[in-house]
């Protein structure tokens, strides 16, 4: 199996503020979810791993250090990001987003498979990146990452702003990705998604991993949810 | 004022606009992807003209290559400007990405150095290319009369450059990459694209267009030191009026400025210099992004 990520003692500072203070995490054969309240540093961790904000510490992909490589090289080493806010390219059509990252029909992910998996994108292939609904944009952001056929994909709140029926589809897709052997680091606020995709869930509190617990345990324990997430989940 | 006169002045404006378009396109392309305000763009124009002429002159004097001399001069001018552009991007501008003020100051410094080096190598005497026979001399134009055929060629070339750039940006993989980079450079890198390589390619393309403009401009009119400042200023005005980073905007800006310069000289010669700046101020007052510019996201 490939796509193992070992993060050791990851620090990110902006001026005097320390956003991440020594994050250590490990993604092995199975997906890992990271949950936590807003402002705890989840998104910063994603950006730091991609080399999009400066960081210290270590992050190894299948044993090879990727921290400090620069964003383009991290991506070519085999890490793809589905960023928060999707970050579409407004000047590109749906199809051009896919052409941008597609490597000549190499499996497992090809443009044809993307259109099979997300038929809605095939219907809107000529539309611009900003003419899509939130759900369509999210599908496109995920497709853009998958078409790179990375060893590991980092998803930063892919369920944000999606209708429940689309969230179900998303969970199916994420399970398929993981079952095919692609590493998956899933950042989520939505506990249902976090716990149905991964068996292990890490909780981030003020820039550190406070605990790593079993998904089933977290899903059923309201006290733990309140303690770490401070919110009650109705759905 | 006769109809013939009106048409002639307008056609003069059009041909001037064509040259401005070719040069300013390169400026706009570089700014669009890299947000670099390349204050040495006029110098690249001059590099194209001088190096192109250094290649052209001995060939033109020889008996064998004389008929191809101009074309080879153009290619040499484009190549020299592109090479200098790539060196600028890789050696200086690449690692100060995002620091606009520093980049502007560095490129101003480079423009001074380049101008001095050209003066030292080639001297200060004005020179002019001779267009091949096919493009030399006057031609009969309806309603206008005799008109230099090279000037008409300039208009055709500008259209070809515009169409070529449009095809490149909209129909090729490089175009997809460049447009994505204009939107979000960081996300483009996260897609695994080698952004520094793309930046160097675009810089070569933009600088090469300045070099092409240099040879064309020095064929239409004698070339001398000092044109770097004029073409830099003109490129700035054209893309500010038209809208940064848009080919259509650059075409529109070039048309406005080219026509305004020619008509200004006819109608109020004393004050024609300020007309372009009046247009710029008026456009900015109503459309701060330029006529066809995009709002920053």
pLDDT-based confidence at residue B297 (cuts at 50, 70, 90): very low
pLDDT of residue B168: 95
Q: What tens digit of pLDDT does each residue of B6-61 get?
A: 999 999 999 999 999 999 999 999 988 788 889 999 999 999 999 999 999 999 99
The proportion of chain A whose per-residue pLDDT surpasses 70, expressed as a percent, equals 97
pLDDT value of position B271:
85
Tokens of A94: 């749906």
Q: A177 to chain B, minimum CA–CA distance in Å?
A: 18
Average pLDDT over all residues of chain B: 92
Residue A227: predicted pLDDT: 82
Tally the domains of chain B.
1
User: Which has the minimum average pLDDT: A119-123, A221-225, B68-72?
Assistant: A221-225
Residues B220-233 as b or e (16 or more Cβ within 10 Å = b): beebebebbeebbe
If you measure CA to CA, which chain A residue comes closest to B180? A89
**What's the domain range around B64?**
25-224
* Range among A107-111, A157-161, B203-207, B290-294 rated most confident: B203-207
Q: ipTM of the assembly?
A: 0.91
Average pLDDT over residues B240-246: 84
Residues of chain B contacting residue A91, judged by C-beta atoms under 8 Å apart: 179-180, 182-183
d(CA A100, CA B176): 7
pLDDT of residue A130: 79
In a domain, B5, yes or no: no
* Domain-located, residue B109: yes
Nearest C-alpha neighbor of B188 from the set B177, B200, B175, B173: B177
Question: Chain B neighbours among A 18-77 (CB < 8 Å)?
Answer: 50, 52, 70-72, 74-76
In a domain, B176, yes or no: yes
CB A155 within 8 A of CB A185: yes
Give the pLDDT mean for A123-144.
91
| Residue B242 located in a structural domain | no
CA distances from B71 to B15, B26, B76, B78, B132 (A): 20, 20, 9, 11, 8
Overall residue count recorded for chain B in this entry: 297
Pairwise CB contact (< 8 Å): B191 & A90: no
Whether residue A148 has pLDDT greater than 90: yes
> Which tens digits make up the pLDDT trace of B131-188?
888 888 889 988 888 999 999 999 999 999 999 999 999 999 999 999 999 889 999 9
User: Torsions phi, psi of A151, nearest 5?
Assistant: -75, -35
pLDDT digits over A62-120, tens only? 999 999 999 999 999 999 999 999 999 999 999 999 999 997 767 789 999 999 999 99
Six-digit token pair at A124?
């809107």
Tell me what pLDDT residue A1 has: 59
Average pLDDT over residues B61-86: 93
Quick one: pLDDT band at residue A230, thresholds 50, 70, 90? confident
Name chain B contacts of A144, Cβ cutoff 8 Å: 191
Domain boundaries, chain A: 5-210
A52, A72, A92: residue with CB nearest B193: A72
Per-residue tokens: B229: 């400042």
Report how far residue B264's alpha carbon sits from residue B248's, in angstroms, rounded to the nearest whole number.
24
Measured torsion, CA atoms of residues A205, A211, A214, A219, in degrees rounded to the nearest 10: -30
In angstroms, the CA A131 to CA B146 distance is 52
Give yes or no for B176 touching A (CB within 8 A).
yes
Is this structure's pTM higher than 0.80? yes
Q: Would you say residue B148 lies in a domain?
A: yes
The pLDDT, as a whole number, for residue B296 is: 55
Give CA–CA dist B249/B276, Å, rounded: 16
Test B179 with A89 for CB contact under 8 angstroms: yes
CA distances from A54 to A47, A77, A161, B1, B57 (A): 9, 18, 29, 66, 53
Chain A positions touching B173 (Cβ under 8 A) are 99-100
Calculate how close chain A gets to B149, using CA atoms only, in Å: 39
Report pLDDT digits (tens) over B15-28. Answer: 999 999 999 999 99
Pairwise CB contact (< 8 Å): B184 & A89:
yes
Q: How confident is the model at residue B113 (pLDDT cuts 50, 70, 90)?
A: very high
Q: Which residues pair with A201 in a beta bridge?
A: A33, A213
**B167 exposure class (CB count in 10 Å sphere: 0-12, 13-18, 19+):** exposed
Query: What CATH architecture does domain A5-210 belong to?
Result: 3-Layer(aba) Sandwich (3.40)
Q: Of A145, A130, A112, A95, which is closest to residue B171 (Cα–Cα)?
A: A95
In sequence order, what are the beta bridge partners of A155? A82, A186
Q: Is B98 on the interface with A (CB under 8 A)?
A: no
Q: Is residue B235 over pLDDT 60?
A: yes
The answer to whether position B66 is within a domain reads: yes
């Amino acid at each position: 199996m490939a796509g193992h990520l070992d993060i050791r003692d990851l620090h990110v500072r902006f001026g005097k503020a320390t956003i991440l203070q020594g994050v250590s995490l490990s993604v092995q054969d199975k997906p890992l979810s990271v949950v936590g309240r807003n402002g705890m540093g989840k998104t910063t961790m994603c950006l730091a791993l991609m080399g999009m904000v400066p960081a210290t510490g270590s992050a190894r992909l299948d044993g090879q250090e990727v921290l400090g490589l620069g964003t383009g090289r991290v991506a070519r080493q085999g890490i793809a990001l589905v960023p928060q806010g999707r970050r579409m390219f407004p000047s590109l059509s749906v199809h051009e987003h896919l052409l941008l990252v597609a490597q000549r029909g190499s499996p497992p992910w090809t443009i044809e498979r993307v259109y099979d998996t997300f038929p809605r994108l095939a219907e809107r292939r000529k539309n611009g990146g900003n003419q899509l609904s939130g759900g369509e944009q999210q599908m496109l952001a995920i497709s853009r990452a998958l078409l790179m056929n990375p060893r590991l994909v980092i998803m930063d709140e892919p369920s944000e702003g999606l209708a429940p029926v689309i969230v179900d589809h998303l969970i199916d897709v994420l399970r398929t990705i993981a079952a095919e052997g692609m590493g998956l680091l899933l950042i989520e606020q939505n506990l249902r998604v976090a716990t149905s995709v991964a068996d292990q869930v890490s909780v981030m509190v003020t820039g550190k991993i406070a605990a790593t617990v079993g998904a089933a345990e977290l899903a059923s324990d309201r006290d733990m949810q309140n303690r770490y997430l401070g919110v009650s989940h109705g759905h | 004022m006769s109809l013939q006169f009106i048409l002639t002045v307008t056609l003069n404006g059009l041909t001037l606009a064509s040259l401005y378009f070719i040069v300013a396109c390169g400026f706009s392309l570089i700014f669009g992807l890299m947000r670099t305000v390349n204050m040495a763009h006029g110098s690249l124009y001059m590099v194209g003209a001088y190096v192109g002429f250094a290649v052209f002159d001995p060939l033109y004097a020889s008996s064998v290559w004389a008929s191809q001399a101009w074309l080879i001069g153009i290619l040499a001018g484009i190549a020299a400007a592109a090479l200098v552009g790539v060196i600028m991007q890789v050696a200086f501008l690449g690692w100060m990405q995002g620091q606009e003020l520093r980049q502007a100051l560095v490129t101003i410094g480079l423009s001074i150095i380049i101008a001095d080096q050209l003066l030292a190598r080639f001297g200060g005497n004005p020179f002019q290319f001779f267009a091949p026979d096919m493009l030399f001399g006057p031609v009969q134009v309806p309603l206008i009369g005799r008109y230099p055929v090279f000037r008409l060629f300039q208009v055709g070339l500008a259209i070809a450059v515009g169409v070529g750039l449009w095809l490149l940006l909209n129909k090729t993989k490089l175009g997809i990459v460049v447009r994505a980079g204009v939107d979000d450079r960081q996300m483009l890198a996260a897609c695994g694209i080698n952004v520094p390589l793309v930046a160097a390619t675009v810089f070569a393309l933009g600088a090469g267009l300045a070099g092409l403009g240099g040879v064309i401009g020095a064929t239409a009119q004698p070339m001398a030191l000092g044109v770097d400042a004029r073409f830099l200023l003109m490129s700035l005005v054209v893309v500010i009026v038209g809208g940064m980073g848009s080919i259509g905007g650059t075409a529109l800006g070039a048309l406005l400025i080219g026509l305004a310069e020619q008509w200004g000289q006819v109608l109020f010669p004393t004050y024609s210099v300020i007309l372009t700046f009046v247009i710029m101020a008026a456009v900015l007052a109503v459309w701060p992004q330029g006529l066809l510019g995009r709002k920053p996201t």
